[in-house]
Amino acid sequence: MTFDRRDYANDTLLHLYRELLKPRLIEEKMLILLRQGKVSKWFSGIGQEAISVGSTLALEADEYILPLHRNLGVFTARQVPLARLFAQWQGKPSGFTQGRDRSFHFGTSEYHIVGMISHLGPQLAVADGIALADVLDEKPRVTLTYSGDGGASEGDFHEALNVAAVWQLPVIFLIENNGYGLSTPSNEQFRFKSFVDKGPAYGMEAVQVDGNNVLDVFDTIHRLAVDLRQNPRPVLVEALTFRMRGHEEASGTKYVPAELLQEWAQKDPVDRYEKWLLAEGILTETARHSLREQLKKEIETALEEADAAPGPSADTARELADVYAPFAPDASAVSRYQLPVVSAKNDSSNELATDNQQPTTKSLRFIDAISDGLRQSMVRHPGLVLMGQDIAEYGGVFKITEGFVAEFGKGRVRNTPLCESAIVGAGLGLSVRGRKSMVEMQFADFVTCGFNQIVNNLAKSHYRWGQAADVVIRMPTGAGTAAGPFHSQSNEAWFTHVPGLKVVYPSNPHDAKGLLCAAFDDPNPVLYFEHKLLYRSLSGPVPDGYYTTPIGEAALVREGDELSIVTYGMGVHWALAACNELNISADILDLRTLLPWDTKAVRRTVAKNGRLLVLHEDTLTGGLGGEIVAWVAEHCFQHLDAPVQRVAGLDTPIPFAPPLEADFLPQQRLKERLAWLQGY
């Protein structure tokens, strides 16, 4: 093996050595602690340290890195305090996740590191979003993200590279090719010979480097970073290396041929660099010994500090509070205008307000109210970026963003490739850099392609390591247009089970604008469901200026004294129509927010009327109505005068033909159950 020192000074070469040696010595200590039961799990990077250390030292301190399991050198080279690292691995509050996640499943904005999730591939798209923010902010920075050769088989790998290439984002995709995905060898993962073959297919440069040569890694990444800061574009770097221990310690290495382990042992990145430094007279034997003793002492001191730190103690209130990023709505922006509430006593409409000043309103269609809220939010939040298929010049398939490119520019109104996962991940990356984003699902049905990013990355980010996921996902949803099972689903209940998400679903133009504006103000991930059938069929009064409808508060749209209907979205209009037809005096409570939903408002109406029907378009089994009914049975049983009723869509996929679709939808069953409940 040869090392080309190029023009690097001895101090630089020795600094590389120190940072290369540190993670190795930490690992050796951790393996002892693992056997002693003081560390619960360990993913060893022995044999791969040169990649993490060389690439990290090649970047500026404010450039983000997205590491994986075996990248301890990223954290140590960024000078993350060892006591905090050790506390993290022990699950202690003085770590980075307060005991909520383990090993390297954490990030730290202070050191510009974004923590991994176990699904590996989704992190690549987050790097795209960070790099996009830097480009929009005109900051000459690069972002570095890692992937193993096994993880590169995931669809997220393709999506992230494709987006980075299309948008010319300064991302270095560093593939640690160690020949195995856990125990599966490369020839069972892919058929190509080298990852550099993939670069040209995406329209990007690809480079191969000896991943066990810290000097080559450092020089290659440094050279690329300098170039990419001035000429933004993505680059694929394949680092050839080998993992000398198991995927994690429990798995072992029995599946690896002995001769292969022997061959790579001769290429040990720490040992061979140390020998070269000694041979060149750059490092003396005395200095070598002294540095090892110094680092061992530093490790022992940090371990003592971590051991002395208190362990975790469960605090239910704190755990629940930390699911969401703290947010207090701007009181001056909350809407003072309330929609008419129909009274059971006089059946007249009354417009109510918290003061005597009613805002100026205009009648808008549901779709125009969404567009209005989106436009005003773009003005209010200059860092807001809109992303979605065909949303730029075309204006989106429903034309909600028509004219936005001319008003806000292509940088902030971005057409995307068909890759929902990458775009949701990019939204999180934008949030890491302090920007807001909106992702438009062309139809809510297509969210399945981005499901992992939403439920595992966006939803858990703040709870795990305090990173807000300031992303709004718009979800055109619902049936009634004879669009069949892939364009008509009501899938809101998939997400109401996921802590960390907020889910809103307006039923009228006023709330459509107000809830959308509120979603952009809120730093938490919000799924915004908008019923397609209401787009151009429903109009109503909407205040002209910017305002918000509070997330988490239900609205009483009709007052009555016979029974109560709790519903949302299209269900509000079905309930109104059915009560009119059957001459039923009912409270109709529009939830508006499905997560977190308004338990106080539900309790009030149940206590008042004693008879409850819960209605939604989604299928009956597993729908949100089941959760509401269970809560009422637990908390309001003493107020009930009749069995609680649920009315919903059939437990089938949504059919295409109009007669079949009408049978799927709950309107007729609603009238039957209302009549039964009224007469009980």
Q: How far apart are alpha carbons 325 and 336 in whole angstroms?
A: 26
Q: How far apart are alpha carbons 542 and 441 in whole angstroms?
A: 25
Q: How far apart are alpha carbons 167 and 347 in whole angstroms?
A: 56
Q: How far apart are alpha carbons 444 and 512 in whole angstroms?
A: 16
DSSP per position, 81-110? -HHHHHHHHTT-TTSSSTTSS-TT---BGG
- The Cβ-side half-sphere exposure at 562, using a 13 Å CA radius, reads 15
Which residue bears the tokens 């540095």?
A: 291
Q: How far apart are alpha carbons 104 and 144 in whole angstroms?
A: 16
- Per the annotation, the verdict on 112 as an active-site residue is no
Name the percent of the chain in helix, strand, coil, to the closest 5: 45, 15, 40
The alpha carbon dihedral of 388, 393, 398, 402 has a sign of: positive
Q: How far apart are alpha carbons 94 and 642 in whole angstroms?
A: 52
CB count in 10 Å sphere of residue 437: 29
Q: Cβ(393)–Cβ(405) under 8 Å?
A: yes
Give 613's strand partners: 565, 645
Q: Cβ(478)–Cβ(532) under 8 Å?
A: yes
What does the CA dihedral 201, 123, 55, 136 come to, rounded to 10 degrees? 80
Q: Which of 69, 112, 462, 487 is catalytic?
A: 487
Q: Which residues contact 272 (CB under 8 A, 6 or more apart)?
A: 1, 212, 266
Degrees to nearest 5, angle at CA 171 with 168 and 177: 125
Q: Cβ(635)–Cβ(612) under 8 Å?
A: no
Q: How far apart are alpha carbons 125 and 456 in whole angstroms?
A: 14
Q: Cβ(90)–Cβ(38) under 8 Å?
A: yes
Active site residues: 487
